[in-house]
């Protein structure tokens, strides 16, 4: 890859991604605020949905936090990795989180293919973003297995590169010696970032923070009066209407 392509993909495209992210989120919130959700299909089929989403969300969230720590405090990460035992623990934990996210995402995609109701509410944008996430996770797992010690070279190379982006002085020379698969991983991350406002991934900007300050909710049953001794199944109670207190 020549320096021209490197500058285009890793020096200029990140700003396009950031522009689309901020402008898209603002415009979507102004024009369609009620679409700021994951558009959950949980009521259509809850059992598999629960386990897939728990696996995916926990795995991807821990990976995001790990990357964020490597970006914010790279020197401390390198100091932590100074002892081999700590480095092994960190690498194995990252790989485990990647596998957890992969299992959850594959299960979710399989559910959307098999379950007709879930398939009906899945748009092309949903499939596109899920395929991109699948590629991103596979890239990450491949890197963890065949290009190990990623936490160290992330802190040494990618953290300075990302800092140069946010300082409006992109320096792609930090990426010159990195393998092609790592560069694909970086580009895919910027691409996903650019598409967030146009997909259901936009819910990461509002969930779960609103639960910290929203008013409590009261759940009331609007069906027919129940006979004495009859209890409403849990699955039915969850579908009861919600009225803000």
If the chain, 245 residues long, is cut into consecutive pieces of 10 residues, what is the mean pLDDT of each piece? 78 96 89 68 56 86 94 95 93 95 91 77 84 96 93 94 95 92 96 90 67 54 51 48 41
**Residue 193: C-alpha distances to residues 16, 64, 78, 129, 136 (Å):** 10, 13, 27, 10, 12
Q: What are phi and psi of 218, to 5 degrees?
A: -115, 125
CATH class for the domain made up of 3-209:
mainly alpha
- Looking at residue 120, its pLDDT comes to 76
List, in order, residues 6 or more apart from 232 with CB less than 8 Å away: 221, 226
Bridge partner list, 242: 219
Q: State the Cα–Cα distance between residues 91 and 97, nearest whole angstrom.
A: 10
User: In this structure, what token pair is assigned to residue 79?
Assistant: 């100091």
Handedness of CA 74, 76, 77, 81 (dihedral sign): positive
Say what angle helices 47-72 and 124-146 make with each other, to 10 degrees: 60
- Mapped onto helix, strand or coil, the DSSP state of residue 219 is strand
- Looking at residue 193, its pLDDT comes to 93
Q: State the Cα–Cα distance between residues 177 and 179, nearest whole angstrom.
A: 7
Q: State the Cα–Cα distance between residues 177 and 155, nearest whole angstrom.
A: 14
**Residue 168: C-alpha distances to residues 135, 162, 184 (Å):** 28, 10, 22
Q: Are 208 and 224 in contact (CB under 8 A)?
A: no
- Looking at residue 59, its pLDDT comes to 93
- Looking at residue 48, its pLDDT comes to 62
- Looking at residue 214, its pLDDT comes to 55
Taking only Cα atoms into account, the Rg of the chain, rounded to an integer number of angstroms, comes to 22
Q: State the Cα–Cα distance between residues 196 and 192, nearest whole angstrom.
A: 6
- Looking at residue 241, its pLDDT comes to 44
Q: State the Cα–Cα distance between residues 219 and 208, nearest whole angstrom.
A: 20
Hey, how many other C-beta atoms are within 10 angstroms of the C-beta on 148? 14
- Looking at residue 51, its pLDDT comes to 75
């Amino acid at each position: 890859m020549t320096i021209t392509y490197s500058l285009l993909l890793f020096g200029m495209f990140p700003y396009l991604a950031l522009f689309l992210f901020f402008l898209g989120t603002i415009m979507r919130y102004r024009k369609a605020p009620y679409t700021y959700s994951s558009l959950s299909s949980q009521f259509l089929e809850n059992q598999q949905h629960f386990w897939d989403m728990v696996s995916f969300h926990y795995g991807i969230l821990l990976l995001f936090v790990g990357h964020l720590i490597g970006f914010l405090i790279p020197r401390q990460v390198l100091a932590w990795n100074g002892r081999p035992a700590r480095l092994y623990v960190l690498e194995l934990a990252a790989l485990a989180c990647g596998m957890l996210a992969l299992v959850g995402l594959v299960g979710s995609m399989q559910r959307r293919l098999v379950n007709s109701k879930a398939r009906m509410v899945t748009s092309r944008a949903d499939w596109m973003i899920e395929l991109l996430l699948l590629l991103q996770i596979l890239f990450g797992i491949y890197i963890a297995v065949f290009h190990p010690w990623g936490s160290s070279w992330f802190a040494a190379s990618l953290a300075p590169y990302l800092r140069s982006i946010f300082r409006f002085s992109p320096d792609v020379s930090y990426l010159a010696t990195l393998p092609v698969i790592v560069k694909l991983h970086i580009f895919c991350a910027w691409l996903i970032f650019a598409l967030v406002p146009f997909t259901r991934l936009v819910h990461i900007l509002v969930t779960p923070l609103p639960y910290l300050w929203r008013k409590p909710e009261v759940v009331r049953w609007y069906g027919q009066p129940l006979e004495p001794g009859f209890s409403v199944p849990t699955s039915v109670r969850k579908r009861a209407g919600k009225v803000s207190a």
